[in-house]
Amino acid sequence: MKKQAVIVGGGPAGLAAALRLREKGISDLVILEREHHLGGILRQCIHDGFGLTRFGESLSGPEYAQRFVEQVTAAGIPVITDCTVLDITRERHITAVSRTQGMLELDADAVLLAMGCRERTRGALAIPGQRPAGVITAGVAQNYINLQNIMVGNEVVILGSGDIGLIMARRLTLEGAKVLGVYEVQPYASGLPRNIEQCLNDYGIPLHLSHTVVDILGEERLTGVVVAQVDERFRPLPGTEQTIPCDTLILSVGLIPENELSLAAQVELDPRTRGAWVDEHGQTTVPGIFSAGNVLHVHDLVDFVSLEAEKMADSAAEYITTGTLPPCPLSVRSDGEVGHVVPQKISGSRDFTLSLRVKRPRTNARLLIRQGDRMVLQRQMRKVLPAEMIQLPIKASQLLPQSDLEVCIQ
């Protein structure tokens, strides 16, 4: 089957991209979604705070998703749910299986990758100890509690201070569990300050920085964890170990863009974001394959996922209609204080949005964007945190057409 555009993933990025493609006159498109419902991870994010930028109100995740789902339905955009994409080739041939339609073979003018991200697990941390039940990631706990009505435990320790872990600390407390503490290996929290305040401080849940879990106890079910303080190189300090009896350990230790299909299509990944290298059009290193949202780089806010997906869809529509996009020969480079930048390539002739994260918290930082000796933009920032993605709109009129862009923090 031939399509103008195939969108892989029906979460916030995929839904926003599909709507924008349709607005731009791309009529022959389809969304392929692995789950039974559209909406992606928003379906289990029942707390509020979504949509402040986009809709000017504080919505829950399911409400935010439903606004897009309703528009997709009203626009008559074809959706295949319960559909797993097995392979994407460099030539944009897609193989998928669906419960209702069996094996699907699609050829697309443009493929829009919107698969989102997944959680780092215990295996990635190499925590020693037993392998009892009761050790789960924060997103899995969220799925059990908010979608399946299954309570995960009573006495809970949380490792990692990512936003989902903080949100789950509050959620578990509301459901009657005792959250004994959140342990973070870094000397600073990795979640947003508002979540430290409203999810931990409000409920008297202690946050222990520069601490980690060094042992997991229990045979059938978790009976406790051993925590210890760490030094500046994250090595546990002997003599600081403390055993905490608990039945559940929740891991909130990072998210990884889910790029197995991108790799199958020979899309090159940036080791810093673990997402695709993209130019300002959201186009990957494979022509006609685009990427946006959490599969490109992990976002803090869904509002910015929607926005990024729409910009990608603008470019994909242009690519489908005209068969080409302006070349992007200029690299965006960054210094050691910047964790990553997106996009990694630009044209120098169009407006674009630069996204970046800093590596460590700083106060009174100056963000400088230069082309050679020429200052493109500088911004004084009172406080920068790795937890907060920085986004800067940059105008074509500020740019030279022939020189790489350098981003640094002073």
Partner 1 sequence: MIRTITCVLCPNSCELTVTHEGGAIQSIVGNLCPKGTSYAAQELTDPRRTIATSIPITGGELPLASVRVTAPIPKDRIMDVMAEINRHTRPAPVHIGDVVIENVLGLNTDVIITKDVAAG
Interacting residue ranges for partner 1, rule: CB under 8 A = 43, 46-49, 52, 58-60, 62-63, 66, 145-149, 171, 174-175, 192-194, 196-198, 202, 300-301, 383, 388
- Picking from 114, 387, 106, 405, the residue whose alpha carbon sits closest to that of residue 276 is 114
Q: Are 50 and 303 in contact (CB under 8 A)?
A: yes
Q: How far is CA 274 from the centre of its chain?
A: 10
The three-state secondary structure class of 94 is strand
- Round to whole Å and give the CA distance between 80 and 94: 14
Number of Cβ atoms within 10 Å of the Cβ of 56: 7
Cis ω on the peptide bond leading into residue 343 (within 30° of 0)?
Answer: yes
Tell me, what amino acid is at 159? Answer: L
* Cβ nearer to partner 1, comparing 302 with 399: 302
User: Alpha-carbon dihedral of residues 281, 283, 287, 290, nearest 10 degrees?
Assistant: -120
Residue 198 CB, shortest distance to partner 1, in Å, is 4
Q: Running DSSP on this structure, what letter comes out for residue 191?
A: S
- Round to whole Å and give the CA distance between 289 and 297: 16
Tell me, what amino acid is at 245? Answer: P
Strand duo 362-371 + 374-384: pairing? antiparallel
Residue 28 CB, shortest distance to partner 1, in Å, is 28
Residue 37 CB, shortest distance to partner 1, in Å, is 9
Residue 48 CB, shortest distance to partner 1, in Å, is 5
* Cβ nearer to partner 1, comparing 61 with 160: 61
- Round to whole Å and give the CA distance between 80 and 370: 45
Tell me, what amino acid is at 409? Answer: I
* Cβ nearer to partner 1, comparing 198 with 353: 198
Residue 64 CB, shortest distance to partner 1, in Å, is 10
Residue 39 CB, shortest distance to partner 1, in Å, is 9
* Cβ nearer to partner 1, comparing 88 with 305: 305
* Cβ nearer to partner 1, comparing 65 with 330: 65
* Cβ nearer to partner 1, comparing 107 with 388: 388
Residue 36 CB, shortest distance to partner 1, in Å, is 9
* Cβ nearer to partner 1, comparing 62 with 326: 62
